[in-house]
Amino acid sequence: MKIKSSSELVNNALKEIKTISSDDAYLMMKEGKTNLIDIRDIRELQNEGKVEGAIHIPRGMLEFWLDPESAYFKEGKLDLNKEMVLFCAGGLRSALATKSLKDMGFEKISHIDGGFGAIKQSKFKIV
């Protein structure tokens, strides 16, 4: 049995998903066109800071919080007419998460290249 590596999964996901820059994400947020979703672990937010205006959905709960048939569904947490822009610390988990949401049927979905590391170097405000 050949097990795919995590890097192989990420590389495959990157071929199928939309990747945007932190500057593009910032403009989308300023124009009110996005749900900016931080999928980092709560400890990462506590240690590194949060992005002002971002919605925190832990990676482990993402699919459940967005599935209307799940007991964990968060009604009204996101505006599903807007693009969901995901980010993690560096862009690997968000690539996999974006692919997963695409597989669920979400169409307005992307992730930020470079994740929180890139966001810290952009115009986003860290709180």
Beta-bridge partners for 35: 84
pLDDT, one tens digit per residue, over 91-120 is 999 999 999 999 999 999 999 999 999 999
> b or e along 26-47 (b: 16 or more beta carbons within 10 Å of the residue's beta carbon)?
bebbeeeebbbbbbbbeebbee
pLDDT of residue 80: 85
**Mean pLDDT to the nearest integer, 59-68:** 95
**Mean pLDDT to the nearest integer, 14-33:** 97
What is the rounded average pLDDT for all residues in the chain? Answer: 96
The CATH T-level fold of domain 17-120 is Oxidized Rhodanese; domain 1 (3.40.250)
87 three-class SS: strand
C-beta neighbour count of 23 within 10 angstroms: 15
Tell whether the model's pLDDT for residue 45 goes beyond 90.
yes
Band of the pLDDT at 40, cuts 50, 70, 90? very high
pLDDT of residue 1: 87
Amino acid sitting at position 17: I
Tell whether the model's pLDDT for residue 34 goes beyond 90.
yes
Predicted structure pTM score: 0.95
Q: Structural domain boundaries of the chain? A: 17-120
Of the candidates 34, 82, 41, 83, the one whose C-alpha atom is nearest the C-alpha of residue 61 is 41
Percent of the chain's residues with pLDDT above 70:
100
